[in-house]
Amino acid sequence: MSGQLDVDICVIGAGSGGLSVAAGASQMGAAVALVEKGEMGGDCLNTGCVPSKSLLAAGHVAQTIREARAFGIHAELACVDHSGVHQHVHEVIAAIAPNDSQERFERMGVRVIRAVGQFTDARTLQAGDMTIRAKYFVVATGSSAFVPPIDGLDGINYFTNENIFDNNEPIEHLIVIGGGPIGMELAQAHRRLGAKVTVMELLRLLPKDDPDLTKIVIDKMRSEGVLFHEGGRGLKLKKTEAGIIASCTTEDGPQKVTGSHVLIATGRKANVDGLNLEAAGVTFSAKGIEVDARLRSSNRRIYAIGDVAGPYQFTHMAAYQAGIVIRNILFRLPAKVDYSAVPWVTYTDPELAHVGMSVAEANAKGLDVRALTWPFSENDRAQAERRTEGFIKVVTTPKGRILGASIVGLHAGELIQSWVLAINRKLKISAMAGMIAPYPTLSEINKRAAGSFYTGKLFSERTRILVRFLMRLS
């Protein structure tokens, strides 16, 4: 359908951030248009969070069967039905898809236009045959897989997160290029589902997280049979009759691996191409659209959220930023983003979770800090689950202000949430130490780590002298 459409807000991109703005603004009375050139739900639903976690869940079930003997249960993993795993992944996507569907948003009153959107001036977007004039625009076009210039890559077929979930055939040996969260998660999932897996990383595995914690994850994956080549240089790929050869040089010398398939997991790039942002007066780079603390671009009528705006490319951050934009546009409140308590989780097994500052980051800011730790091995629930690998590390000031927390272990992504709230609300460590944690739960490690802040004072000689004195008075 062609013509002109005048609305209050035009959202470009139907991923998590764009859908949140469209739903919220429409239900609050604004006239909203939503432009999407691809699938509703964006990367998270179709090629990112949902399918990857579904695949990880399948791998977890397979690994549970392998390790059942430790609980006195004798079970054998007869086979992995790869077409069945593929079906499971896509059934999960299909179950969630109605929440993000065009029909649902049209019932909310959103005008959904399935076309490529391109700015023609500062206030106008052309989407197919429709010319859209809006008081405000919100760019939420997300990101896509970044494929670096690797020698020989153009001579082979390869996976990214955008097509690997379409595969329903067994993979004999998967070579994963990239040791960040996406690469590590998919490496472990495929290994548990029966493939040989080699991860090749040019820098450090899981480079954004504390090395003390990442070692636990790497050691676990290595024990399951994943091979790692870290700090490689001169990466080359070559297709041969025997398979795909990946070669590089590490500190241990030349490395060469022959695999059947390659997954490129080297990060994400902001989707800014094709929007004609220049015509709208929007400043951008390869990293995305430049925004201020209110998420406004250089054109104050155009906002940007989610992966296209950075600096954190997480689904939950896109949803958070959507709320900031709604407050700014609909209620004219000067709401600003606060990135002091941004959590992230790597969904390997064990999970790796973080919020706030690490010790290294705090030291770089010149802060005097204390690091509080508590191991999963001292947690009774972890013992019962036979999952005692891992620990928590909490960073505080000497006066007990909580600066950050990192957890590696079973359900770390759930356990980190108490620390997100604590940092967001600027709570002191005393609040966490005084919390009543139900027994036996993994969450007791949070209380135990917090309580350790006071151990030195509570069990000091000075305290013993005071107690003995008070006891003599009674």
- Distance CA(159)–CA(205), nearest Å, equals 20
Look at residues 247, 266, 285 and tell me which one is the last residue of a structural domain. 266
DSSP assignment of 360-391: HHHHHTT---EEEEEEGGG-HHHHHTT----E
Q: 469 pLDDT band (50/70/90 cuts)?
A: very high
Please report the pLDDT score of residue 32 as a whole number.
Answer: 98
Mean pLDDT of 193-213: 97
- Distance CA(363)–CA(146), nearest Å, equals 32
Helices then strands, counting H and E runs in the chain, come out as: 16, 23
Please report the pLDDT score of residue 310 as a whole number.
Answer: 83
Whether the Cβ atoms of residue 256 and residue 237 lie closer than 8 Å to each other: no
Q: Tell whether 383 and 427 lie within a shared domain.
A: yes
Treating both helix axes as pointing N-terminal to C-terminal, what angle do 211-223 and 181-192 enclose, rounded to 10 degrees? 20
Residue 49 lies in a domain: no
- Distance CA(314)–CA(143), nearest Å, equals 10
Mean pLDDT of 286-297: 97
Residue 351 lies in a domain: yes
Q: What are phi and psi of 146, to 5 degrees?
A: -90, 125
Q: What is the chain's mean pLDDT, rounded?
A: 97
For tokens 């700014």, the residue is: 328
Q: Give buried/exposed letters for 14-29 (b at 16+ CB in 10 A, else e).
A: bbbbbbbbbbbbbeee
Half-sphere exposure (Cβ direction) of 179: Cα atoms closer than 13 Å: 25
Residue 291 lies in a domain: yes
Distance of CA 276 to the CA centre of its chain: 29
CB within 8 A of 162, min separation 6: which ones?
43, 47, 144, 145
The parent domain of residue 189 ranges over 153-266
H helices of 270-376, where?
Answer: 315-331, 359-364
Structure tokens that stand for 83 in this block: 């077409």
Strand 233-240 and strand 243-250: the pairing is antiparallel
Q: Tell whether 390 and 284 lie within a shared domain.
A: no
Q: Tell whether 138 and 249 lie within a shared domain.
A: no
Instruction: Give the least confident one: 184-188, 340-344, 402-406, 462-466.
Output: 462-466
Looking at the structure of the chain, the number of domains it has is 3
pLDDT of 258 higher than 80: yes
Whether the Cβ atoms of residue 406 and residue 424 lie closer than 8 Å to each other: no
Whether the Cβ atoms of residue 391 and residue 365 lie closer than 8 Å to each other: no
- Distance CA(227)–CA(179), nearest Å, equals 11
Which three-class secondary structure state does DSSP give residue 169?
coil
Q: Tell whether 23 and 115 lie within a shared domain.
A: yes
Residue 472 lies in a domain: no
- Distance CA(420)–CA(405), nearest Å, equals 8
Please report the pLDDT score of residue 2 as a whole number.
Answer: 75
- Distance CA(300)–CA(137), nearest Å, equals 10
- Distance CA(416)–CA(48), nearest Å, equals 22
pLDDT of 315 higher than 90: yes
Q: Tell whether 214 and 286 lie within a shared domain.
A: no
Tens digits of residue pLDDT in 347-391: 999 999 999 999 999 999 999 999 999 999 999 999 999 999 999
Residue 12 lies in a domain: yes
Q: Find out whether the peptide bond into 440 is cis, omega within 30 degrees of 0.
A: yes
Q: Tell whether 23 and 117 lie within a shared domain.
A: yes
Percent of the chain with pLDDT over 70: 100
Residue in 36, 24, 292 with CA at minimum distance from that of residue 141: 36
Look at residues 286, 310, 331 and tell me which one is the last residue of a structural domain. 331
Question: What distance separates the 2 farthest-apart alpha carbons in the chain?
Answer: 91
Residue 469 lies in a domain: no
Tens digits of residue pLDDT in 117-166: 999 999 999 999 999 999 999 999 999 999 999 999 999 999 999 999 99
DSSP state of 347: -
What Rg value do the Cα atoms of the chain yield, rounded? 25
Residue in 103, 110, 104, 92 with CA at minimum distance from that of residue 9: 110
Q: Tell whether 287 and 196 lie within a shared domain.
A: no
Whether the Cβ atoms of residue 346 and residue 357 lie closer than 8 Å to each other: no
Residue 160 lies in a domain: yes
CB within 8 A of 469, min separation 6: which ones?
none
Please report the pLDDT score of residue 180 as a whole number.
Answer: 97
Residue in 1, 3, 6 with CA at minimum distance from that of residue 33: 6
Question: How many other CB atoms are found less than 10 A from the CB of residue 145?
Answer: 22
Q: Is the dihedral of CA 287, 289, 292, 294 positive or negative?
A: negative
Q: Tell whether 404 and 371 lie within a shared domain.
A: yes
Q: Tell whether 248 and 355 lie within a shared domain.
A: no
Mean pLDDT of 441-465: 94
Strand 370-375 and strand 351-356: the pairing is unpaired
Q: Tell whether 168 and 224 lie within a shared domain.
A: yes
- Distance CA(429)–CA(271), nearest Å, equals 41
Q: Tell whether 273 and 262 lie within a shared domain.
A: no
Question: How many other CB atoms are found less than 10 A from the CB of residue 116?
Answer: 15
Residue 393 lies in a domain: yes
- Distance CA(16)–CA(292), nearest Å, equals 21
Please report the pLDDT score of residue 1 as a whole number.
Answer: 56
CATH number at residue 250: 3.50.50.60
Tens digits of residue pLDDT in 31-61: 999 999 999 999 999 999 999 999 999 999 9
CATH number at residue 382: 3.30.390.30
Look at residues 248, 266, 284 and tell me which one is the last residue of a structural domain. 266
Q: Tell whether 168 and 239 lie within a shared domain.
A: yes
Structure tokens that stand for 112 in this block: 């959904």
